[in-house]
């Protein structure tokens, strides 16, 4: 049996050590700006482009005072000099954002025009065993994109713009101590044969987060120094600024893909699927490991045909070097009753594909939310169909897990 993370180890207790205790990452991993790491001929950063500004046209920054006053907070505020700064006691409780049902009419606008700055108070690293060995404390939560099936908005009352955690140095110090306690990975498992894999983007999209601050760049540089560990994050956005970093094979980018017909309906404000696939070669050449998420798989008429076409396209255009190291996760759609009701207020067409009582059954989540997923037999048949399609059209694509 492959190595598995042990629950309760090494984060049984809250951090009691100073932030720099047992630090394995050098101080230069924490940067005050990306400029000094750019090649002289790199040209303007994408995050300063009109396209990036359209995705994030920030007009209001809700900020905890300590977060706004921190070096990272000041860096972020300088990026949006015209934004109104609204002091808040906690990033978790902002009445005009969280739990405000009237926000449904401004669902996408809030994601574009609002930013939150906070400090991550509780630092824990949880065992996973699917995408990664461990779920790390992320540098942000929320997203500027608006995927209709996303579970992340439920964490803060559904209106969930990006919250950036400005105490990145504490997050990196915490991960440093966690890795020191683990030591080398001695048994291979499906996450990785030799490295402990840490998902750094469970509740956000790191490619978008990198448009706002250097938190993601700091983490990528930190993991580049660790031969026993890898960072990992899934993304639906192509941010070429990440190509300017030097990950040295220690960061795994998982490009999420689905048939473009599904993406057009459900992946609002994301990069086109073909652009995500086309970027794979550039990211591999820049020193990233590149995997794919075939996710979510949405069951609707002709879904098998459209997934076949997508897999054939991947087989046609991906370089051999990408194929030789690629692996994939296959994830069937899970939806949520409250999110379904909210989507009916801003994007009802999406619910025609996502909400299928004829195929789905309820599932109570650990936090008490009522989720729905495809019924056991339906799901098992669809998973097997996906395995068959991959084997037929992209036989080089190893499936790490499917559920």
pLDDT at 15: 35
d(CA 333, CA 249): 30
pLDDT at 59: 97
| Residues of the chain predicted below pLDDT 50 | 1-4, 6-36
pLDDT at 6: 46
Residue 389: half-sphere exposure toward Cβ, Cα within 13 Å:
21
75-125, pLDDT tens digit by residue? 999 999 999 999 999 998 888 887 666 678 888 899 999 999 999 999 999
pTM over 0.85: yes
- CA dihedral angle for residue 248, residue 182, residue 188, residue 8, rounded to 10 degrees: -130
Q: For the packed helices 273-285 and 303-317, what is the interaxial angle rounded to 10 degrees? A: 30
Quickly count: other Cβ atoms within 10 Å of residue 83's Cβ.
Answer: 18
**Which DSSP category does 270 fall into?**
P
In 35-194, DSSP assigns E strands to 60-63, 84-87, 114-118, 126-127, 134-135, 140-141, 146-147, 163-165
Partners of 398 in beta bridges: 327
Residue 47: half-sphere exposure toward Cβ, Cα within 13 Å:
21
pLDDT at 12: 34
pLDDT at 23: 39
CA atoms 172, 173, 174, 179: torsion sign: positive
Q: Is 227 left (phi over 0), alpha (psi -120 to 50) or beta?
A: alpha
- Written as six digits, the tokens of 274 are 């073909």
313-346, pLDDT tens digit by residue? 999 999 999 999 999 999 999 999 888 988 898 9
């Amino acid at each position: 049996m492959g190595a598995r993370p042990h629950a309760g180890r090494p984060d049984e207790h809250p951090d009691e050590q100073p932030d720099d205790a047992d630090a394995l990452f050098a101080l230069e991993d924490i940067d005050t700006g990306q400029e000094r790491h750019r090649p002289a001929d790199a040209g303007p950063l994408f995050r300063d482009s009109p396209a990036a500004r359209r995705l994030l046209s920030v007009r209001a920054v809700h900020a905890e005072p300590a977060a706004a006053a921190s070096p990272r907070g000041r860096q972020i505020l300088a990026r949006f000099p015209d934004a109104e700064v609204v002091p808040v006691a906690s990033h978790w409780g902002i009445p005009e954002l969280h739990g405000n049902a009237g926000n449904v009419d401004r669902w996408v606008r809030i994601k574009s025009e609002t930013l939150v700055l906070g400090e991550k108070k509780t630092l824990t690293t949880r065992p996973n065993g699917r995408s990664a060995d461990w779920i790390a404390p992320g540098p942000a939560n929320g997203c500027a994109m608006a995927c209709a099936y996303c579970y992340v908005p439920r964490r803060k009352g559904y209106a969930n713009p990006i919250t950036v955690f400005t105490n990145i140095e504490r997050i990196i110090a915490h991960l440093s101590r966690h890795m020191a306690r683990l030591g080398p990975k001695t048994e291979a498992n499906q996450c990785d044969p030799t490295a402990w894999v840490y998902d750094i983007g469970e509740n956000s999209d790191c490619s978008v987060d990198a448009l706002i601050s250097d938190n993601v760049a700091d983490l990528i540089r930190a993991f580049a120094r660790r031969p026993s560990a890898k960072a990992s994050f899934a993304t639906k956005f192509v941010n070429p600024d990440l190509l300017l970093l030097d990950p040295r094979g220690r960061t795994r980018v998982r490009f999420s893909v689905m048939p473009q017909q599904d993406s057009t309906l459900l992946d609002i404000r994301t990069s086109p699927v073909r652009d995500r696939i086309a970027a794979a070669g550039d990211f591999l050449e820049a020193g990233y490991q590149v995997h794919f998420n075939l996710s979510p798989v949405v069951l609707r008429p002709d879904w098998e045909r459209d997934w076949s076409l997508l897999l054939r396209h991947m087989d046609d255009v991906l370089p051999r070097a990408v194929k030789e190291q690629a692996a994939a996760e296959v994830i069937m759609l899970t939806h949520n009753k409250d999110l379904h009701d909210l989507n009916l207020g801003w994007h009802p067409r999406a619910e025609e594909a996502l909400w299928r009582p004829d195929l789905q059954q309820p599932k109570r989540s650990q936090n008490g939310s009522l989720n729905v997923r495809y019924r056991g037999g339906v799901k098992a048949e669809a998973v097997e169909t996906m395995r068959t399609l991959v084997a037929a059209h992209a036989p080089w694509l190893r499936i790490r897990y499917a559920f």
